[in-house]
Amino acid sequence: MKIIKEGPLFYLHSKNMTMIIEEHSGYLFMKYIGRQVKQYHQSNAVVMKDHAFSGNPYPECREFSLDTQRMLIGQHGLGDFRQPSVRIQHGNNDVTDFRYVSHEIKAGVLVSQGLPSPYSQAEDATTLSITLADTVAELELIIHFTVYNTSDAITTFSEVRNVGKERAVIHQLQSVMLDLPKDDYDLITFQGAYAREKTVRRHTLNQGIFRVSSNRGASGHAQTPAAILTHPTTTDDYGEALAIQLIYSGNFELICQQSQLNDVRLSLGINHENFSWTLEAGQQFNSPVALINYSSKGLNDLSQTSHEFITQHIIPEQFAKTARPILVNNWEATYFDFNRDKLLDIAERASELGIELFVLDDGWFGQRKDDNSSLGDWQVNEEKIQGTLAELIAQVKGKGLQFGLWFEPEMISEDSDLYRTHPEWAIQLPERPHTYSRNQLVLNFANPEVVNYMKKLLDDLLSRHEIDYVKWDMNRNITNIGNGQDYAGSMMQTHQYMLGLYSLVEYLTTKHDHILFESCSGGGGRNDLGMMRYFPQVWSSDNTDAISRLQIQHGSSYLHPVISMGAHVSAVPNHQMNRITDLKTRADVAMMGNLGYELDLNLLTDEEKQAVKEQVTRYKILRPIVQFGQQYRLMHTANETAVQFTYEQRVLLTYVKVLSTYEDMETTVKLKGLEEDSLYCLEETDQLYSGAELMYAGLTMDTPRGDFQSLQLLLTKV
Ligand code: GLA
């Protein structure tokens, strides 16, 4: 049994991970989460003593306080002074006292209604649903926990039901809350900005509150709805680490509080600022799902655990283990300035070079000649592409390439036929002017009429054309928004927008399940597990500079599998950084993701074309190693990066040096996860090395001289 109830204790066992919950007078305590524990006898119980200034629910017992216990949910107003995880207004206050009523254990995983949820075979997953009730507030809270046989993972979400006769308003409902005992902790977050997404930030925790959040209506470039709680001594190879991630793409908040007793409360959920959800009698609300992963073997093992979970339970099944096509995208090649001949010239070159997919980016629809107009008018501009879309697709396919198309379905330009017909469909506040960003507005996906219009339009377009890939962009964040539901459909809160968006993408990706969807938001502005549940791939940054990508890909590797990440070779000087990098380095870096090209292939010299052809051929050999293999971070300093991928018999090692320095003229990297007694043959020299020597003595490389240089080494187990 994976979930066991023994007396007052619930044991939740995933593969090698355990969570223990205790029920006591209806209170639910979080006793433990971490490495497997099969028998627990309160060894770490909070000491029963009078902690001054902490409220006591029982008059005769000053030793017991909700402020000092490790709770499963945080409720304020009755003595727990830490950050709450649940806050629901009823009558004239928002104090609740949810107590255990019953529980149920079932095979399989549950869907959080209308929200991206993990999938699983019934025999792999077991779910515990605990029902709590507050009889004064007349509310029920149901917390679901799912454990997985094959993964060190637990997923969880909550439901609130209004079982009374009066209206209640949810102000906060975190998807996960973990109370952990006093210890030395570090918290790792993934922050940054546009063009430098997923920068790894490691914070030392101190007494107080650390909070990372978004109120953009998207997870955003500058923060990720995820964190890793670990210790100062934990490295990639040693030590304990626990990751939490929200399977959601809207406003979120991550709160980490070290209390006066130095214990830690970590929670993650919808951002409570700008959020309030009315529950009329009989109504219910579901939180997004959160994922918890754990490892006792260092951060790299935690990363692999997360990667595996995401490929087995989040990324749509038909794409999770399907090789991704090598693409060419015309954006940086042409921007808005193209016609059919120009596109077909690129497609022709692509086909000669062995590229597999041609992607037509922004600019093919309405009167779109720059980024000021036409969003919403998803009719092909036949004048510009000199014919119909079907004809263009047929011509591209005639060259042996698949066809992909860019969309930005959530947006509307003021200068568009759609806006002229339906100005009320843009998100707006009554009597206030619009706020623009990239000169565009956002469609109100909280309005089912808008969502249905888009469902029909996109379904029709995708049904009538042979499209293999869709790049789904979102190039601004949401403003001019309310925080209530009842504003005549035009003013809403972003959670309603998210529900509309999810219903649209669920419909389209289910109906057109052969299409590979890539999520984009000016690069990685919405690079989270919510989108990944529908869209197997993410354009992780608009920054295509190979050297900048090292940081972005490094940050991405902590939680997201490489198969979810597109990575392109672009022109030099690089359009974002103005840096000149060798074609080899650009390709070696992009080959650590799903390889693509984003430049005008016609402008390459013959020598460069030959090099691209060789890269494409080589990537077809390396592709399973990168996309299906296990990833190891071997080295990541300001000047040097080394990454290893291992799949079946083969090991790929990529090394990149930023600046040429004397101290980095030769470098030794220690490989990981090899078989000690097996022999591995280095392709370049045919030299055999034992797994043990590669891991423990390391491989010394004469690194290439010059700035921005790279090596790509392939080893095969003999
Ligand atoms: C965003 C994307 C780019 C490109 C442009 C098109 O910025 O991130 O890759 O598609 O939009 O306008």
- Residue range 491-530, pLDDT digits in tens: 578 999 999 999 999 999 999 999 999 999 999 999 999 9
Dist. CA 421 → ligand 1 center (Å): 26
CA dihedral of residues 443, 449, 454, 460 (deg, nearest 10) = -160
- 300 sits in which H/E element: helix 299-313
In the predicted model, is pLDDT for residue 486 greater than 80? no
User: Locate tokens 């057109």: which residue?
Assistant: 512
pLDDT range class, residue 482, cuts 50, 70, 90: confident
CATH match for 635-717 among 3.40.980.10, 3.10.50.40, 3.40.50.1110, 2.60.40.1180: 2.60.40.1180
φ, ψ at 414 (rounded to 5°)? -60, -35
Dist. CA 473 → ligand 1 center (Å): 7
Cis-peptide, bond into residue 84, ω within 30° of zero: no
* Candidate from 361, 472, 518 with most ligand 1 atoms within 8 A of CB, to mutate: 361
Dist. CA 373 → ligand 1 center (Å): 15
User: Residue whose CA is closest, atom 2 of ligand 1?
Assistant: 522
Residue intervals in the chain for CATH 2.60.40.1180? 635-717
* Whole-number Å distance between alpha carbons of 255 and 241: 17
* Candidate from 475, 544, 549, 570 with most ligand 1 atoms within 8 A of CB, to mutate: 475
- Beta-carbon count within 10 A of 68 CB: 22
Dist. CA 522 → ligand 1 center (Å): 5
User: Locate tokens 């970590």: which residue?
Assistant: 266
* Distances 502 to 117, 404, 514, 515 between C-alpha atoms, Å: 11, 22, 18, 17
Nearest to 412 by CA among 430, 394, 429, 427: 427
Nearest to 711 by CA among 638, 648, 647, 634: 634
Percentage of the residues of the chain whose pLDDT score is greater than 70: 99
* Whole-number Å distance between alpha carbons of 718 and 712: 19
Whole-prediction pTM? 0.98
User: How are beta strands 402-407 and 357-360 bridged, if at all?
Assistant: parallel
The pLDDT score that the predictor gives to residue 397 is 98
* Average pLDDT over every residue of 582-607: 98
Dist. CA 60 → ligand 1 center (Å): 65
Average confidence score pLDDT of the chain: 96
Residue 163 has which token pair? 């079982």
Percentage of the residues of the chain whose pLDDT score is greater than 90: 95
Q: Which segment of 253-267, 338-352, 491-505, 701-715 scores lowest on mean pLDDT?
A: 491-505
* Candidate from 327, 331, 544 with most ligand 1 atoms within 8 A of CB, to mutate: 331
pLDDT range class, residue 1, cuts 50, 70, 90: low
Dist. CA 483 → ligand 1 center (Å): 30
68 and 81 Cβ atoms separated by less than 8 Å: no
Residue 493 has which token pair? 């809160």
User: Residue whose CA is closest, atom 8 of ligand 1?
Assistant: 522
* Whole-number Å distance between alpha carbons of 491 and 332: 37
Atom of ligand 1 nearest to the CA of 471: 10
* Whole-number Å distance between alpha carbons of 524 and 186: 25
Residues with beta carbon inside 6 Å of ligand 1?
331, 361-362, 371, 406, 473, 475, 520, 522-523, 539, 542
The pLDDT score that the predictor gives to residue 489 is 43
* Average pLDDT over every residue of 445-461: 96
In the predicted model, is pLDDT for residue 487 greater than 80? no
Which residues are marked as active site? 473, 542
For 3-314, CATH gives: 2.70.98.60
Residue intervals in the chain for CATH 2.70.98.60? 3-314
User: Residue whose CA is closest, atom 9 of ligand 1?
Assistant: 542
Residue intervals in the chain for CATH 3.20.20.70? 318-628
Superfamily of domain 318-628 in the CATH hierarchy: Aldolase class I (3.20.20.70)
User: Residue whose CA is closest, atom 11 of ligand 1?
Assistant: 522
Dist. CA 368 → ligand 1 center (Å): 14
Atom of ligand 1 nearest to the CA of 542: 8
Atom of ligand 1 nearest to the CA of 522: 8
* Whole-number Å distance between alpha carbons of 301 and 151: 12
Give 423's DSSP letter: G
User: Residue whose CA is closest, atom 3 of ligand 1?
Assistant: 522
